[in-house]
Amino acid sequence: MDVEYPATLNDYIQSENDGANGMLQLANEYHSSWPGSKMGLLGYSQGAQLVSDILCSGTGGNFNHHAPLSPGIVKNSIVAAVLFGDPHTSPTQPMIIFTRMNNTVCKQYSYRMASWCDKGDELCDAGHVDAIHGLYLQKYNATMVQYVLERWQNSTVSSVTTTAVSTDLSTSSRTTGVSTSTHKASPTAAESDHPSTSTASRPTILG
């Protein structure tokens, strides 16, 4: 399932707020309709910010302060969260473009979150190479799919279905379903406390 929201750089804050609220609603509705199902959350660029926000709560400041998904839904239904080019995170700085005020919730979910940020990415690595941010889907699709499948297989939930929700920004390539990629050879979110975000892609919910 794709999250329908502006996904634009113009009026970014409103776009991100709309997207986060829309994704949160979709995830809650999906869980209510199929409480025994599993979901995967996938996002690129701004879409990645939506994924991390509905798991960890809003960034703060002018961004919304919506409550995140309930811990029960995350624990029982969210098998994986994948983020590419997340503006929240940098390998050299805890946060880069949009600082998250409190990372406590993100830390407790880090074992099911994988975030890719390639060196030189202008949004998540304070880099200066424009092309890098758009290469994640080409480079890491197979790795991402394998990660989600392994998380799904290791899940203790007996009843499983799969659906996808994604979000997109007009200034970047849109992503839907399970196809995404970037330059970091290994998921940084799984290794660190922070997921990643970006300004241009639809997050996807696999349920």
Q: What is the pLDDT of residues 35-78, one digit of tens each?
A: 888 999 999 998 988 898 888 876 555 565 667 889 999 998 99
Range of the domain at 38: 12-152
- Let me know if residue 142 belongs to a domain: yes
CATH of residue 84: 3.40.50.1820
pLDDT at residue 94 tops 70: no
Query: What tens digit of pLDDT does each residue of 174-205 get?
Result: 332 333 333 333 333 333 333 333 334 455 55
The token duo for 72 is 């029960």
Let me know if residue 117 belongs to a domain.
Answer: yes
- Quick check: is 168 in a domain? no
Average the pLDDT over each of 6-10, 33-37, 105-109, 154-158 and give the range with the smallest value: 154-158
Q: In this structure, is residue 114 part of a structural domain?
A: yes
Report the percentage of the chain scoring pLDDT > 90. Answer: 22
> How far is 90 from 57, CA to CA, in rounded Å?
19
| 167: in domain | no
* pLDDT tier, 4 (very low <50, low <70, confident <90, very high otherwise): confident
CA dihedral for 99, 177, 19, 201, sign (positive or negative): positive
Instruction: Count up the domains in the chain and report the number.
Output: 1
